[in-house]
Amino acid sequence: MDATPPPPRSVLEAPDIARVLTRIAHEIVERAKGADDVVLLGIPTRGVHLAHRLAAKLHDITGGPVPVGSLDITMYRDDLRLRPARALARTEIPAEGVDDRLVVLVDDVLFSGRTIRAALDALGDLGRPRAVQLAVLVDRGHRRLPIRADYVGKNLPTSLREAVRVQLAEEDGRDGVLLGRREPAAEG
Amino acid sequence: MKHHLISAADLTRDDAVMVLDTAQELARLADRPIKKLPTLRGRTVVNLFFEDSTRTRISFEAAAKRLSADVINFSAKGSSVSKGESLKDTALTLEAMGADAVVIRHHDSGAPHRLATSGWIGGSVVNAGDGTHEHPTQALLDAFTLRHRLAGSGDGVGRDLTGRHITIVGDILHSRVARSNVLLLTTLGAEVTVVAPPTLIPIGAEGWPCTVSYDLDAVLPKTDAVMMLRVQRERMTAAYFPTEREYARRYGLNGDRMATMPEHAVVLHPGPMNRGMEITAEVADSPRCTAVEQVTNGVSVRMAVLYLLLGGAPAGPAPTPASGTATTAAAAGTATTATTAPGAAGEAEENQ
């Protein structure tokens, strides 16, 4: 599907993703000394599914409910003018709100950091969290902004000519992370 | 989506659904502490209103401001237009000031089309109502209201209006709202019926993608929504019906008539309402009447339109032939705003 010459190489399989998410959930609980005031906000599309999975795991660990929502960053992007106007995804803030909470942003791939910059701006318009942390499934490097993740599923050294593709059962029918050749038009 | 929004016919089904979905998401902004998005920061939207309008202008102004655009309101009264400036010179002035979008309302059908296709300005043109021609954002907000109200559970995101029966009642002849709605609702898959006395049905309506009826009572029982239009006395130059009382009795919506509609059916009105004429107070104040909701939805829909036109990359060379008409434009440049601009897309109305 991706590039034809070398087929994409699988980096994480379904069981790896499950283990990684379990570890991140434990790390969140450890860092936050419980997860009482944690709110998980996924960045559409795949970040939202990851946030829901993390919430389920946090619930298994702490027993308490973990509010989970989604945060669309389209209107805050810095590259809007570079492409035709795009469709918006859903922003769903849990009823508890984000004020004085520990917000953990969840995304699939951390790359330039621009998405997270936009997410921080979007979050600022929604309330004033006690703190904001970032959890990503894959950190592929090549940061363009002073942003780092607090919880990383897998550090994946990549070249700029490569593309990282995260597949999740909710969206793609299967779990997996693929590393392949980057298509000319695509961007991570 | 095209570079301009002149007619509801400019929108494909996918374009229209995209506008409605975007509006649906933007509507949620109203619940947030900061009802503003930074998306159009540094862009300028000019509201160019040659005809009085409060709600449409305020709606566009609120929409642009919520997207952080700078808004310049330009109304014909008290401006250089009242000193005899032509549409062309007004347009060149706006272009010189760097307008990224011009929202135009004009008493002449076709003025927005002229503005968009003459090469006078580079920005997007949004038709906010021209004469008796079109009012596409009103049709979009009506479609948005319909989809939301008729969706049942969920908010209808991604869906169109396939299979819905929608009836438009009243002064079809003078109504730009009716024209835009017939086009848009049909694009969205709905079956549209227009109902009016024969004198208020325009010549050529048989070519529209809708059914024409003169009998309101026959249509109501199988309609999912009825849209009541105001009788536009200010545009009437002849006696189109004997008395207002007779019109109200045959084509006005009262409680008894509303009761013959299906349980889920809703009543739309673009405003301003003439209570007692096309709609009784009982209907206007009932929960089935969406007039107030339509105003709220108008802001969301106009935000969506402005975002989709201005938010992305510049459309490059516009699909409309902007160049090449420069010479004819110059020749026609003497046309003052008092002259009727050529009607758009063969829809020239007999706007007497």
Strands A9-13 and A176-181, how do they pair? antiparallel
Domain that holds residue B307: 8-135+296-341
Same domain (yes/no): B146, B255: yes
Mutate to test the interface with B, among A70, A72, A73, A75 (most CBs of B within 10 A): A75
User: Residue length, chain A?
Assistant: 188
Q: Does B346 fall in a domain? A: no
Of A81, A87, A121, which has the smallest distance from its Cβ to B313's Cβ? A81
B39 is in an annotated binding site: no
Same domain (yes/no): B301, B266: no
Same domain (yes/no): B265, B151: yes
Please report how many Cα atoms fall inside a 13 Å half-sphere around the Cα of residue A98, on the Cβ side.
26
A188 contacts: CB under 8 Å, gap ≥ 6: A109, A111, A112, A140, A163, A164, A182
Average pLDDT over residues B276-281: 94
Residues of B (299-338) whose Cβ lies below 8 Å from A: 307-315
In chain B, % helix, strand, coil (3-state, to 5) comes to: 40, 15, 45
A121 contacts: CB under 8 Å, gap ≥ 6: A73, A76, B38
Q: Is the pLDDT of residue B78 over 80?
A: no
Q: Does B351 fall in a domain? A: no
For residues A62 and A56, the answer to whether their CB atoms sit within 8 Å is: no
pLDDT tens digits, B103-120: 999 999 999 999 999 999
Same domain (yes/no): B282, B224: yes
Q: Which of B294, B170, B291 is nearest to B233 (CA)?
A: B170
Partners of B195 in the β-ladder: B169, B213
Instruction: Kindly state whether B259 is in contact with chain A, defined as any CB-CB distance less than 8 angstroms.
Output: no
Same domain (yes/no): B16, B146: no
Same domain (yes/no): B82, B226: no
Percentage of residues in chain A having pLDDT higher than 90:
83
Q: For the whole prediction, is pTM greater than 0.90?
A: no
Q: Could you give the 3-state DSSP secondary structure of residue B6?
A: coil
More confident residue, B124 or B342: B124
Q: Which of B173, B146, B301 is nearest to B227 (CA)?
A: B146
Same domain (yes/no): B231, B268: yes
pLDDT tier, B316 (very low <50, low <70, confident <90, very high otherwise): low
B135 assigned to active site: yes
What's the CA gap between B162 and B143, in Å, rounded?
Answer: 12
Q: What is the biggest distance separating any 2 CA atoms in chain B, rounded to whole angstroms?
A: 59
What's the CA gap between A159 and B211, in Å, rounded?
Answer: 61
Q: Is the pLDDT of residue A88 over 70?
A: yes
Q: Does B300 fall in a domain? A: yes
Calculate the alpha carbon distances from B335 to B86, B124, B340 in Å. 6, 22, 8
Instruction: Kindly state whether B1 is in contact with chain A, defined as any CB-CB distance less than 8 angstroms.
Output: yes
3-class DSSP string for A81-136? HHCCCCCCCCCECCCCCCCCCEEEEEEEEECCCHHHHHHHHHHHCCCCCCEEEEEE
Cα R_g (chain B), whole angstroms: 20
* Architecture of the domain defined by A14-164: 3-Layer(aba) Sandwich (3.40)
Residue of A nearest to B34 (CA): A125
For residues B177 and B135, the answer to whether their CB atoms sit within 8 Å is: yes
Q: How far does the CA of residue A93 sit from the closest CA of chain B (Å)? A: 10
Q: Does B235 fall in a domain? A: yes
Of A80, A81, A127, which has the smallest distance from its Cβ to B33's Cβ? A127
Q: How far does the CA of residue B142 sit from the closest CA of chain A (Å)? A: 21
Average pLDDT over residues A181-185: 72
B43 is in an annotated binding site: no
Q: Does B3 fall in a domain? A: no
Instruction: Kindly state whether B287 is in contact with chain A, defined as any CB-CB distance less than 8 angstroms.
Output: no
Q: Is the pLDDT of residue B263 over 60?
A: yes
The two structure tokens encoding residue B335: 């046309």
For residues B19 and B306, the answer to whether their CB atoms sit within 8 Å is: no
> Considering only CB atoms, which chain B residues are within 8 Å of A81?
312-314
B135 is in an annotated binding site: yes
Same domain (yes/no): B105, B158: no
Number of domains in chain B: 2
- Predicted local distance difference test score (pLDDT) of residue B192: 97
pLDDT tier, B165 (very low <50, low <70, confident <90, very high otherwise): very high
Phi, psi of A124 (to 5 degrees): -60, -30
Same domain (yes/no): B116, B193: no
- Predicted local distance difference test score (pLDDT) of residue A1: 53
Same domain (yes/no): B43, B164: no
- Predicted local distance difference test score (pLDDT) of residue A4: 60
What's the CA gap between A137 and A106, in Å, rounded?
Answer: 8
